[in-house]
Chain A
């Protein structure tokens, strides 16, 4: 059972205390969603493209073991060392042993949600390794001692004044300067020194091609490339579901990814790594961490198609108003809410309920994952397995009794209308969760059933 102090509703309530910030967060992410719409509308065969992407991923999931073997063989042929990690612990241990082998205790890292999932930074810190996150947004939250709140826009929950303060404290920028251009330039200088002096760079992977053994990393900042090309050792970490069959399939996914994420026609850099450069070591860590089990769940395996564009975050009315940290998991938002229960059903029992089931997430998903349907299905699994909270169980029982007894239902409706009309304070108070962020509507004098009886002749 989820604990009250750490569930989505409680964390969202904390985020909602600052109303102007919630308003800004909501509007900003909706603006990103609108940019996505404009970009998608410019591609005449957009819907066919989504369908193709989804079907390529169907093929990937149906032959994942074959593609993994093929990718491994090709990558080794290209001179890349391939590692396999069954879970987060093994993944972290592999990274640490590579660092130890090279006697290195400092590393630069570009964005990798997988390493967030595995809590790599904390693990390496405990083992005396300094990790510098080089994506600007990730560096901001790292300096603030927080996890990212969005997989594409890691510090979208922060205002520029707060970032100015963080940079003043850690990078020595002038107090009170909150100009994005100035702060970005300060980060550029600060991180350039790190890129030039670190011997090991870790990157994520957007796509890995079974046919050629190459992998593709997409960034706008160029931080993955700055790290990887200046380092003696490049370690790339990927979940096993990131495989695609052939290089030409990249044409489909690269058309969809950035348009869905930010409304750009493509990210600034889409880098194809196939062989280490002379004298460089290149490693790939293939991580399972629950994915092979998830693959066996017929109703839920489609979530493994995700290409991490975050379109479902930006469109979600709940995410936009509750903030990424309220999901208490590395990948937040609607997709995170269907991925997390796979890892720990009791810890993340609250997440499938953090949704209105409006279906907007499924409508924008570039690989057509049935996100809202899976949220609904997870709710049933969670309740059946006894992971729902006591309050929710009691409410569901009461609802079941009311809805299956017509006379009780009509009586309850009449009572509700009478109280809302004559004693509004009985619903407009803190005990009613519906009242907290909204005004209750004025209740009609009669139900439709009553009106119909009177007027049917």
Chain B
């Protein structure tokens, strides 16, 4: 008998009587504010606060021109900048998805779109089709993600509802990840250090075309 058969029959023989799956907690109500409106504002404020508490940075911006300006000023020394957002070029080079991932070794900054953010933990959901290559969000020294300000869900239950929706609209992902803040470790005496193996910094841009940039420039 193969190990597979052996394991499956031992498990089947020893597993207890069937137990029902519990109902999942209903996703947090969309509008928690007393006014019953302004839900995106509430969620993006929470998202930004949590993201900052875990070492990330957030900017609410009117468009890609503004993103280019901010990143240019934040990373003046960045030599190799790659983006999968066509609107951000020529600030950044466009890379081909078929490139050998090892060639991304010297990328200083990657600017990638993500699907949505999660207010309760500051994470962004990004799927393979958005990241040029699976290795890029991890191998780059600095990472910037762009989401729409309205694309912030309250919690992880809503996040997986959204993921199911996305999947019915586009092809299933082969790889996807939640990214919450920069890569970090506290393995040495519990001292927090940002930039373990992945990006040293994470900047999330919340796009809102209705914002005016007047006064910013």
A binding-site residues for B, Cβ under 8 Å: 28, 31-32, 43, 45, 48-49, 51-52, 55-56, 58-59, 61-65, 68-69, 78, 84-86, 90, 134-137, 140, 153-156, 159-160, 163, 180-181, 183-185, 188, 191-192, 195-196, 212, 220-223, 225-226, 228-230, 240, 245, 247-252, 254-255, 262, 264-277, 286, 288, 292-293, 295-296, 298, 301
CB distance from A198 to the nearest CB of B (A): 11
Question: Is B198 interfacial (CB 8 A cutoff)?
Answer: yes
Interfacial chain B residues near A159, Cβ < 8 Å: 189
User: Which of A195, A249, A277, A286 contacts B24 (CB under 8 A)?
Assistant: A249
Q: When the two chains form their complex, are residues A268 and B14 in contact, meaning their CB atoms are under 8 A apart? A: no
Q: When the two chains form their complex, are residues A65 and B184 in contact, meaning their CB atoms are under 8 A apart? A: no
Q: When the two chains form their complex, are residues A64 and B15 in contact, meaning their CB atoms are under 8 A apart? A: yes
Interfacial chain B residues near A85, Cβ < 8 Å: 3
Q: A229-B138, A252-B24 are in contact. List 14 more A-B contacts (CB 8 A).
A: A43-B120, A55-B19, A61-B16, A65-B15, A188-B195, A225-B177, A229-B135, A266-B118, A266-B122, A268-B182, A268-B183, A269-B198, A272-B175, A288-B3
User: Which of A31, A154, A180, A221 contacts B183 (CB under 8 A)?
Assistant: A221
Binds A, one of B70-78, B87-95, B153-161, B204-212: B153-161
Distance, CA A295 to CA B10, complexed state (A): 9
Nearest opposing residue in chain B for A252, CB measure: B24
User: Which of A61, A220, A276 contacts B184 (CB under 8 A)?
Assistant: A220
Nearest opposing residue in chain B for A135, CB measure: B187
CB distance from A407 to the nearest CB of B (A): 48
Q: When the two chains form their complex, are residues B8 and A52 in contact, meaning their CB atoms are under 8 A apart? A: no
CB distance from A59 to the nearest CB of B (A): 5
- Given A84-B4, A251-B160 in contact, is the A222-B188 Cβ separation under 8 Å? no
Q: When the two chains form their complex, are residues B176 and A277 in contact, meaning their CB atoms are under 8 A apart? A: no
- Given A61-B15, A84-B7, A248-B164 in contact, is the A180-B177 Cβ separation under 8 Å? no
CB distance from A226 to the nearest CB of B (A): 5
Q: When the two chains form their complex, are residues B187 and A155 in contact, meaning their CB atoms are under 8 A apart? A: yes
Question: Is B213 interfacial (CB 8 A cutoff)?
Answer: no
24 contacts between A and B (CB under 8 A): A45-B25, A56-B22, A63-B15, A65-B8, A78-B174, A137-B187, A154-B187, A180-B189, A191-B197, A196-B102, A221-B185, A222-B183, A226-B138, A230-B139, A240-B7, A248-B161, A251-B160, A252-B24, A252-B157, A269-B178, A274-B174, A274-B175, A275-B175, A288-B3
- Given A52-B22, A268-B182 in contact, is the A225-B198 Cβ separation under 8 Å? yes
Distance, CA A249 to CA B101, complexed state (A): 32
Question: Is B54 interfacial (CB 8 A cutoff)?
Answer: yes
Q: Mark B3-45, 1 if CB is under 8 A from A, else 0.
A: 1101111111111111111101100000000000000000000
CB distance from A262 to the nearest CB of B (A): 8
- Given A188-B195, A192-B197, A265-B120 in contact, is the A295-B190 Cβ separation under 8 Å? no
Question: Is B59 interfacial (CB 8 A cutoff)?
Answer: no
Q: Mark B137-170, 1 if CB is under 8 A from A, else 0.
A: 1110000000000000001110111011000000
Q: When the two chains form their complex, are residues B188 and A226 in contact, meaning their CB atoms are under 8 A apart? A: no
Distance, CA A184 to CA B191, complexed state (A): 10
Q: When the two chains form their complex, are residues A221 and B178 in contact, meaning their CB atoms are under 8 A apart? A: no
Q: How large is the interface on B (under 10, 10 to 19, 20 to 34, 35 or more residues)?
A: 35 or more
Question: Is B134 interfacial (CB 8 A cutoff)?
Answer: yes
Interfacial chain B residues near A48, Cβ < 8 Å: 25
Distance, CA A229 to CA B175, complexed state (A): 10
CB distance from A80 to the nearest CB of B (A): 11
Q: When the two chains form their complex, are residues B54 and A62 in contact, meaning their CB atoms are under 8 A apart? A: no
Interfacial chain B residues near A185, Cβ < 8 Å: 193, 195
Q: When the two chains form their complex, are residues A292 and B11 in contact, meaning their CB atoms are under 8 A apart? A: yes
Interface of A is mostly: helix
Q: When the two chains form their complex, are residues A288 and B10 in contact, meaning their CB atoms are under 8 A apart? A: yes
Q: When the two chains form their complex, are residues B21 and A160 in contact, meaning their CB atoms are under 8 A apart? A: no
Distance, CA A49 to CA B25, complexed state (A): 7
- Given A248-B24, A255-B156 in contact, is the A223-B7 Cβ separation under 8 Å? no
Question: Which residue among A43, A58, A63, A229 has the maximum number of chain B CB atoms within 10 Å of its CB?
Answer: A229
Interfacial chain B residues near A298, Cβ < 8 Å: 16
Q: When the two chains form their complex, are residues A265 and B54 in contact, meaning their CB atoms are under 8 A apart? A: yes
User: Which of A45, A68, A137, A223 contacts B11 (CB under 8 A)?
Assistant: A68
- Given A163-B188, A249-B24 in contact, is the A222-B138 Cβ separation under 8 Å? yes
Question: Which residue among B18, B160, B161, B182 has the maximum number of chain A CB atoms within 10 Å of its CB?
Answer: B160
User: Which of B22, B138, B172, B190 contacts A28 (CB under 8 A)?
Assistant: B190
Interfacial chain A residues near B199, Cβ < 8 Å: 222
Interfacial chain B residues near A69, Cβ < 8 Å: 8
CB distance from B194 to the nearest CB of A (A): 9
Q: When the two chains form their complex, are residues A220 and B121 in contact, meaning their CB atoms are under 8 A apart? A: no
Interfacial chain B residues near A269, Cβ < 8 Å: 138, 177-180, 183, 198
Question: Is B96 interfacial (CB 8 A cutoff)?
Answer: no
Distance, CA A298 to CA B118, complexed state (A): 39
Interfacial chain B residues near A181, Cβ < 8 Å: 191, 193
Distance, CA A85 to CA B2, complexed state (A): 10
User: Which of A31, A64, A135, A223 contacts B190 (CB under 8 A)?
Assistant: A31
- Given A84-B2, A277-B134 in contact, is the A222-B25 Cβ separation under 8 Å? no
CB distance from B105 to the nearest CB of A (A): 6
Question: Is B114 interfacial (CB 8 A cutoff)?
Answer: no
Q: When the two chains form their complex, are residues A55 and B187 in contact, meaning their CB atoms are under 8 A apart? A: no
Nearest opposing residue in chain B for A270, CB measure: B178
User: Which of A62, A63, A266 contacts B123 (CB under 8 A)?
Assistant: A266
Nearest opposing residue in chain A for B50, CB measure: A265
Question: Is B133 interfacial (CB 8 A cutoff)?
Answer: yes
Q: When the two chains form their complex, are residues A230 and B135 in contact, meaning their CB atoms are under 8 A apart? A: yes
Nearest opposing residue in chain B for A265, CB measure: B121
Distance, CA A273 to CA B120, complexed state (A): 23
Nearest opposing residue in chain A for B199, CB measure: A222
- Given A32-B190, A160-B189, A221-B196 in contact, is the A68-B177 Cβ separation under 8 Å? no
- Closest 10 pairs between A and B when the two form their complex, measured CB to CB: A222-B198, A296-B14, A221-B196, A137-B187, A265-B121, A275-B174, A292-B10, A180-B191, A229-B135, A55-B22
